[in-house]
Amino acid sequence: MKKLFLLVLIIGFVGCKNDKKINRTLPSLDRSELILKYAKGFSVVDYGQYKILKINSPWPKSEKTYTYLLLTKEQAMVSTFNKDDYDAIITIPIEKIVVTSTTHIPALELLGVEQTLVGFPGTDYVSSEKVRGLIDTKKIRELGENEGINTEVLLELNPDLVVGFGIDGNNKTFETIKKSGIPVIYNGDWVEDSPLAKAEWIKFFGVLFNKVAEADSIFNQIEKDYLDAKALASKVTTKPSVLSGAMHKDVWYLPNGTSPEAQLLKDANVNYLYSETTGSGSLALSFESVFEKAKAADLWLSPSYYSSFEALEKANQHYTKFDAFKNKSIYTFVNTTGATGGVLYYELGTTRPDLVLKDLIKICHPELLKDYKPYFFKPLE
């Protein structure tokens, strides 16, 4: 009887252990990845109970992938995740945000969450009328400069998130902000290699504000308008030759043939004189080499920061020898500014490449888009 009793007891004990092991097994979570057609610099995986956001290329030649855990308020209250496993744990939707580039602002506006913006470094650079209104009514605080953000004011604002950008990851201000407990995410939209890839970063903000469907819909419309314009331009048979850029000190900088800027010119169906070049960053050429190749160019687009023919001539008499100068065929976006002088192209151009492409098509193929008025580009004054 004692042996039988011990046998039953052992069987029961083993059964209890197995039951406990079954109870401790976590249920499998559904996994869905955010669909990205062009952007390569970030990814988002939704596991139902939480999301994982990864930033792969926040700056050129970045070797680290940044990983962020995104939780709702309810999930954050019961979360047992280890903070050391992530670069930050972020509660969404974001209610108070600080962004550090004007290129981030259009996404907030398009998603209807611009009122969550509480601080910005360099508010005079902001052109958007909506956000300027928030700045003028003191709802958005001035934070100084991107490389030297006024951390005292920022800590007082206590945002849920700071969206930054960097060229190499060595931003001491951002490190100070992170140590104070405020998460910082590096936005790498500017590193993408095509106009539509840059624009697709609106989905990054869509995830942060729980507006994924809205962001997807907005981007799809931008993509459609861009591709429709590209298809229209593809039908023309005459391609004007195009020069771009200008001198800075002794070097002429202009887009290389694999850059997003060159992609826009290609999609506008023009003969960009440097379309065959490759590499990262801008081309850096001598005046003599550019003059030899582009003296007879039909059009000169984006002559650096020069806003008038007078300014170009004053900077360098040799500019006047180009046919585009003689024929007054130079176009720039620097004269389209907001109330405080911010250049609208630098703010909105990244998010709305469809408008940039239409501008270029209107300039280069004036017989197309007859009722379209260029949004950014104007003839040089």
Identical topology for domains 32-221 and 234-379: yes
Task: Extract the tokens encoding 365.
Answer: 């193929």
The string of DSSP codes covering 61-90 is T----EEEEEE-HHHHHH----GGGSSEEE
Task: Extract the tokens encoding 309.
Answer: 């023919």
- Which has the closest alpha carbon to 259: 192, 313, 328? 192
- Which has the closest alpha carbon to 161: 104, 78, 211, 202? 104
Tell me how many degrees the CA angle 324-329-330 measures, rounded to the nearest 5. Answer: 90
pLDDT tens readout for residues 194-227: 999 999 999 999 999 999 999 999 999 999 999 9
Q: Strand 32-33 and strand 42-46: pairing?
A: antiparallel
| CATH of span 234-379 | 3.40.50.1980
Mean pLDDT (the chain) is 91
pLDDT tens readout for residues 86-137: 999 999 999 999 999 999 999 999 999 999 999 999 999 999 999 999 999 9
Q: What is the pLDDT of residue 146?
A: 65
C-alpha distances in Å from residue 323, one per residue of 79, 291, 320, 334, 381: 66, 10, 8, 21, 16
Q: State which H helix or E strand residue 148 sits in.
A: strand 148-149
Rounded to a whole number of angstroms, the CA Rg of the chain reads: 27
- Which has the closest alpha carbon to 154: 120, 116, 130? 120
Average pLDDT for 55-79: 90
Residue pair 254/244 in contact (Cβ under 8 Å)? The answer is: yes
Q: What is the pLDDT of residue 20?
A: 39
Q: Which residues of 100-136 are buried (b: 16+ CB within 10 A; e: fewer)?
A: bbbbbbbbbbbbebbebbbbbbbbebbbbeebbebbe
Tell me how long the chain is. Answer: 381
Average pLDDT for 267-295: 94
How far is residue 329's CA from residue 318's CA, in Å, rounded to a whole number? 16
Average pLDDT for 270-286: 93
Q: Which residues contact 59 (CB under 8 A, 6 or more apart)?
A: 165, 166, 167, 168, 169, 186, 188, 191
pLDDT tens readout for residues 235-258: 999 999 999 999 999 999 999 999
Domains in the chain: boundaries: 32-221, 234-379
Q: Report pTM.
A: 0.89
What is 32-221's CATH number, 3.40.50.1980, 3.40.50.300, 3.90.1150.10, 3.40.50.10800? 3.40.50.1980
